[in-house]
Amino acid sequence: MNLISRLFSFAIPVVSLTVSSLGISSVNAVPFGSVTVYKVVNNGTTSVYLSGTANGRMEVEMGSTPRTTARVVGSCGEIRIAVPSNGSFAGLKIDGVNVDVSTLSTATLPSCSGGTFTEPRPSNFKTPNGQVIIVGKTPGSGTTITLSSDVERNVSINSCGFGRINVTESLPLTTFKIGTTNYTLADLPNAGQPPVCRTLDGVSTTYIPSSWP
């Protein structure tokens, strides 16, 4: 069993958890007060802490996150974008410019001959099978495609009973879900300082700041 002590203090707090709705065991967990999901904001960097069963894993649905890929423009100045696995073109951007797929007309994709479509396609369009075609680009040039995609992650819980997710520009984590519970980053309590886990001779000790409740 982990030993939990306060930084700069010899007092050992006794914490009672009632988090059965999250499917998280109180054994070895390291909550902030009675909260099992909280954040620490330090020098402009935000990390989300998840309190759970030591040496376990926790599945976190991180919502939609923009993902950018590079592509070479086709010989007729076209970019072909297949239907995403989740079926949604939400957040589509080409070279940083938004594309509203709902406004695109539907047309067949003509063959390309000598750098020109055999049938004129002056505007972006969708094919009957849902593929998005962007036109008017420079053949052979590089371009970027940004799409929102659903992200899931299995977060490792350390031997002290907490895990961490760092919030970054590529992983903003504005909203996320654990089990059936939804969370919003802005609404999470800020612990101010993080817990620290140290393991010596196979015994894990959790140090929590004296400022914690």
The domain spans of the chain are: 3-56+157-208, 64-148
Contact assessment for residue 49 and residue 40, using Cβ atoms and an 8 Å cutoff: yes
Please tell me the distance from the alpha carbon of residue 118 to that of residue 14, in angstroms, as a whole number: 75
pLDDT digits (tens, 9 = 90+) for 69-86: 999 999 999 999 999 887
pLDDT for residue 11:
36
Mean pLDDT of 171-176: 86
pLDDT for residue 90:
86
How many other C-beta atoms lie within 10 A of the C-beta of residue 81?
22
3-class SS of residue 112: strand
Contact assessment for residue 186 and residue 93, using Cβ atoms and an 8 Å cutoff: no
Segments of 109-179 assigned E as strands: 112-113, 116-117, 125-126, 132-134, 142-156, 162-166, 175-178
The highest-confidence range among 22-36, 52-66, 134-148, by mean pLDDT, is: 134-148
pLDDT for residue 24:
35
Which pLDDT band holds residue 206 (cuts at 50, 70, 90)?
A: very high
Look at 15-24, 25-34, 39-48, 111-120 and tell me which has the smallest mean pLDDT: 15-24
Contact assessment for residue 59 and residue 47, using Cβ atoms and an 8 Å cutoff: no
Q: Most distant CA pair in the chain: distance in Å?
A: 80
